[in-house]
Amino acid sequence: MHDGCSGSFASGAQVVDKVRAMGFNIQPMPMPMTINCANCKDDFQMDCFEGCCPSCNMVYGVTPCHAFDPSNVMPAGVDY
């Protein structure tokens, strides 16, 4: 089911599952973002709708509709 931009997610795992299912996980975002990792606190550059902290392997996701603000990026889990 596709909810367009109105879909809401309870967890980062749901966001990552959604972008993977839609095939957006490896697509570049319109503008890369600097993300502060919730796990190790290192900053890293997120270029695609799914990203991974290179220091600790925490996986992050954001939907294309919400990729304009780093506060919409959600952690899914280490090695998710």
Residue-range domain boundaries for the chain: 9-78
For 43, counting Cβ atoms within 10 Å of its Cβ (0-12 exposed, 13-18 middle, 19+ buried), the class is exposed
Residues of the chain scoring pLDDT < 50: 1-2
pLDDT at 5: 72
Model pLDDT, residue 1: 40
pLDDT given for residue 62 in this prediction: 96
